[in-house]
Structure 1
Amino acid sequence: MLDSKTADLDKEERPDVLSLLPPYEGKIVLELGAGIGRFTGELAKKVEKLIALDFIEGTIKKNESINGHHKNVKGLDERMVKWLKVGGYIFFRESCFHQSGDHNHKNNPTHYREPSFYTKVFRECHVNDGNGKSFELSLAGCKCIEAYVRNKKNQNQICWMWQKVGFEDDMGFQHFLDIVQ
């Protein structure tokens, strides 16, 4: 994290984010953007198996050094949607628009995007199973992280939850909006 109050913020953010997840006890969980493992250890305590993914090799190694004692955790980088079971969820949080922390780093590799970018990318995820069935991701929820709103007055830490559904089963984004609003 890029903030001088990382430890204090993490104490609130971690339970805040975990409370937004669907039931995961005893499940196989795919953790995208696992980073150094801030959520890995908490998830590993309750899941059958955890696959922690990240695209930066150094963060995967750091996560393994912190959480390697959990025998049900495996770090990989593969294609998530094909692995996800029908009815399964993808949950992630992201800093949008700009950096949320107060540390200025010369070499911050992060590219801050608008929330609409993530919505568009995940809405366009379609998978065929080889048997003529098509699947897509349906938006199940989206909101800002309350710990950041309370502590930083920052509504740009956003989380999304997507569910893998049969292409014909997706009730659509409009249905989601109708229910939420």
Structure 2
Amino acid sequence: MPKYEMEFSIMCGNDNERLNFWKQKNDDATGMMCNPDALELDVSERSEIISYLPDLKGKQVLEPAAGIGRFTTYFASVAEHVTAIDFVDKFIEKNKKECSNCFNTTHLVTNVMDLNIENERFDFVFVNWLFMYLKDDEIRILGDRIYQWLKPEGLFFFRESCVSASNPNRAHPHTHYRDPKFYADLLMTKFILLSQGNVAIYEQKYGNPNQLWWLYQKI
């Protein structure tokens, strides 16, 4: 088996409604962010979020819902290896093209809820705008799996739209804008909170302080 090949068990059962919603989106920043201001926000948002991340040199990184590679290319530039997952094939194809000069990436087309990875595989899991598209019970299941996939003292970073959409005037379907306490209560028994904050560019542009991020460490 090649060094970076993994034994994934891919099962059926994608949520067709969610999948069809994303298949209709363009494979660009506007499609990923569901925001007509995406071209203006994209670079600033990514730079800001990356500034909150830990040192990933020599790390094994898992990126569920990786989309077209807005963050994958950064991870590939600093980490030992990156596994990027998305359930929309055209997004993963775009992601592969963005990472075409990288030789430390694995790309998979599957629903993260249908993913089975061996325990303690990764040093770092990065989730951006995923939980708000999942049901409460799916998040609980995925939270447990992320805990299992992480190595001892592994790190978990996630960012979500809480309370309202990133642009409060443009909420879109299939989303749950939860109270941030939901996430804190969910993770407190398995993870230690290292840092947290909000994505300031959205507060500056829309007066929205509820684009939140957290960095946790596995207990």
Shift in Å, 1:64? 3.7
Normalised by the length of structure 1, the TM-score is: 0.72
Mapping of residues 11-30 of structure 1, within 5 Å: 11-30=43-62
Aligned to 1:179: none
Match of 1:149 in 2: 203
Superposition RMSD in Å? 2.4
Q: Which residue of 1 aligns with 2:72?
A: 40
- The equivalent of 2:151 in structure 1 is 85
8 Å CA contact retained: 1:3, 1:102? no
Paired residues for 1:117-132 under 5 Å: 117-124=182-189
Following TM superposition, by how much is the alpha carbon of 1:38 offset from its aligned partner in structure 2, in angstroms? Answer: 1.1
State the percentage of identical aligned residues. Answer: 37
Aligned partners of 1:117, 1:62: CA distance in 2, in Å?
Answer: 33
Tell me the residue number matched to 1:97: 163
Where structure 2 has 5 or more consecutive residues not aligned to the other structure, the ranges are 1-32, 116-144
In the alignment, the residues of structure 2 paired with residue 63 and residue 98 of structure 1 have an alpha-carbon distance, to the nearest angstrom, of 28
Would the aligned equivalents of 1:95 and 1:158 in 2 still touch at CA under 8 Å?
yes
- Are the structure 2 counterparts of residues 5 and 60 from structure 1 closer, same or farther at C-alpha, using a change threshold of 3 Å? same
Number of the residue aligned with 1:174:
none
Q: Distance in 1 between matches of 2:181 and 2:85?
A: 23
Residue 102 (structure 1) shift:
7.0
In structure 2, relative to structure 1, the CA distance for the partners of 1:114 and 1:154 (3 Å cut) is same
Q: d(CA) in 2 for partners of 1:60 and 1:81?
A: 25
Q: Distance in 1 between matches of 2:61 and 2:193?
A: 18
> Deviation of residue 61 (structure 1)?
4.9
Residue 89 of structure 1: how far off its partner (Å): 0.5
* Aligned residue number for residue 67 of structure 1: 99
Contact 1:4-1:102 at 8 Å conserved across structures? no
CA distance 1:69–1:103, change in 2 (3 Å): farther
Which of 63, 87, 107 lines up with 1:31 in the alignment? 63
Letter paired with 1:161: L
- Larger RCO (alpha carbons 8 Å, 6+ apart): 1
- Alpha-carbon offset, residue 151 of structure 1: 2.1
Output the CA distance in 1 between the equivalents of 2:163 and 2:171.
17
**Which residue in the other structure is 2:174 paired with?**
109
Is this contact kept in 2: 1:29–1:49, CA < 8 A? yes
Is residue 167–residue 202 contact of structure 2 (8 Å, CA) maintained in 1?
Answer: no
